[in-house]
């Protein structure tokens, strides 16, 4: 299949998401802030319940009315929010009109891209009404604070432009979904972020039982052990160059009654924890040990 034809098939799975939301007024709880119209993006994916539109949670948060429109089509179709995960900033939309999916193939979810990979960001950002495609390079893979929930989860940094309206749009590589655009860093230039494939897969698998349980956390505050003298004072040998010191364990958390302040966490899932709290993700790429916890299912 030619690249042009493959791209055409992928574009048919890109969706414009139009939402009317009405957020509560927390200072005056007897009234709302009033309706707001917003535009986001989405992509058609296959789930255990059939074809759905995958988008960002913040695109449909406090929704009152949601419509979707396919690429190349003028007609808008009413959609309902089937599931929403504010923690990972993802949501699934259900479209009752089955004809909406006619002639459309869902985009399969690929693997976590590698540093230096070239990717394409598709969506409906500000600056026009039609579909926009920008290209960028994967520049970093790390835990990132998701603005929607203030939770640190795995994300991929790219240098492609991600603007308002791009949110929820697919990031593609070799015909596969390798990320979902969701936020940018205002303090820098050309610093955008996409939700990593493992997070997307976790969200979809989590919904297979009909309940969104979210992403687990260890519930531990830990201190780095980069000082040799500090490690020795804790009884570690000079050969034990890694590990982090547990300073606090959240009451009722995942590690409650399993870890205690003063313990040294040397490994997680058999992977050594370095003195700065990182573990090897793959081929020398490092990520904080919290990722190994959050990728588990509750």
Q: CA-CA distances (angstroms) from residue 153 to 88, 161, 202, 222, 278?
A: 7, 21, 11, 18, 14
Last residue of a domain, one of 101, 136, 156: 101
| CATH code, domain carrying 27 | 2.40.10.10
pLDDT value at residue 6: 61
pLDDT value, residue 3: 57
**Mean pLDDT over each residue of the chain, to the nearest integer:** 92
pLDDT of residue 267: 94
Containing domain of residue 163, as a range? 118-209
Contact between residue 179 and residue 195 where contact means Cβ atoms under 8 Å apart: yes
In a domain, 76, yes or no: yes
Predicted pLDDT at 129: 86
What is the number of domains present in the chain?
Answer: 3
| Domain's final residue, options 158, 178, 209 | 209
Tell me: do 204 and 224 sit in the same domain. Answer: no
Residue 297: phi and psi, rounded to 5, are -100, 140
| Active centre residues (catalytic) | 58, 89, 167
172-194 pLDDT, tens digit per residue, is 999 999 999 999 988 877 899 99
| Pair (237, 177) in one structural domain | no
If asked whether residues 95 and 7 sit together in one domain, one would say yes
Q: How far apart are CA 224 and CA 204, in angstroms?
A: 34
Same domain as 63, residue 30: yes
Q: Are strands 90-94 and 151-158 parallel, antiparallel or unpaired?
A: unpaired
Residues 8 and 70 in one domain: yes
Question: Domain check: are 69 and 135 in the same one?
Answer: no
- What is the structure's pLDDT at 186? 83
What pLDDT is stored for residue 219 in this prediction? Answer: 93
Q: Which of residues 67, 101, 135 is at a domain's end?
A: 101
| pLDDT computed for residue 4 by the predictor | 59
Q: 201 and 229 in one domain? A: no
The CA-based angle 161-61-17, given to 5 degrees, is: 55
Residue 89 shares a structural domain with residue 34: yes
Which residue bears the tokens 């490994």?
267
Judge if 197 and 259 occupy the same domain.
no
State if pTM tops 0.95.
Answer: no
Provide the pLDDT for residue 294. 94
Residue 193: inside a domain: yes
How many angstroms separate the CA atoms of 57 and 102, rounded? Answer: 25
> Residue 285 falls within a domain, yes or no?
yes
Cα–Cα dist 12/72, whole Å: 7
pLDDT on residue 189: 78
**Whether residue 255 is found in the same domain as residue 231:** yes
**Domain assignment of residue 107, yes or no:** no
Whether residues 263 and 241 share a domain: the answer is yes
pLDDT (0 to 100) of residue 231: 93
If phi > 0 it is left, if psi is from -120 to 50 it is alpha, else beta; for residue 290 that is alpha
What is the DSSP secondary-structure string of 25-49?
-SSSTTSB---EEEEEEEEEEEETT
Residues of the chain with pLDDT under 70: 1-8
């Amino acid at each position: 299949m030619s690249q042009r034809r493959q791209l055409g098939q992928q574009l048919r799975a890109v969706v414009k998401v139009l939402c009317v939301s009405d957020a509560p007024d927390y200072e005056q709880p007897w009234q709302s802030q009033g309706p707001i119209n917003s535009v986001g993006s989405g992509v058609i994916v296959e789930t255990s319940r059939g074809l759905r539109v995958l988008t960002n949670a913040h695109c449909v948060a406090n929704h009152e009315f949601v419509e979707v429109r396919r690429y190349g089509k003028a007609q808008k179709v009413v959609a309902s929010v089937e599931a929403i995960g504010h923690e990972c900033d993802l949501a699934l939309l259900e479209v009752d009109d089955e004809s909406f999916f006619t002639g459309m193939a869902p985009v399969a979810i690929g693997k976590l891209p590698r540093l230096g990979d070239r990717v394409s960001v598709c969506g409906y950002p500000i600056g026009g009404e039609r579909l926009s495609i920008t290209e960028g390079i994967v520049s970093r893979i790390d835990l990132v604070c998701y603005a929607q929930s203030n939770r640190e989860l795995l994300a991929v940094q790219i240098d492609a432009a991600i603007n308002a309206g791009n949110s929820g749009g697919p990031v593609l590589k070799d015909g596969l979904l390798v990320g979902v655009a969701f936020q940018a860093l205002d303090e820098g230039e050309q610093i955008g972020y996409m939700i990593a494939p493992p997070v997307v897969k976790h969200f979809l698998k989590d919904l297979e039982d009909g309940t969104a349980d979210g992403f687990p956390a260890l519930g531990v505050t830990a201190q780095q052990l980069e000082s040799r003298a500090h490690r020795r004072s804790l009884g570690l040998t000079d050969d034990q160059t890694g590990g982090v010191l547990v300073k606090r364990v959240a009451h009722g958390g995942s590690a409650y009654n399993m870890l205690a302040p003063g313990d040294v966490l040397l490994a997680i899932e058999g992977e050594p924890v370095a003195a700065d709290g990182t573990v090897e993700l793959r081929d020398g790429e490092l990520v904080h040990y919290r990722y190994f916890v959050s990728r588990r299912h509750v």
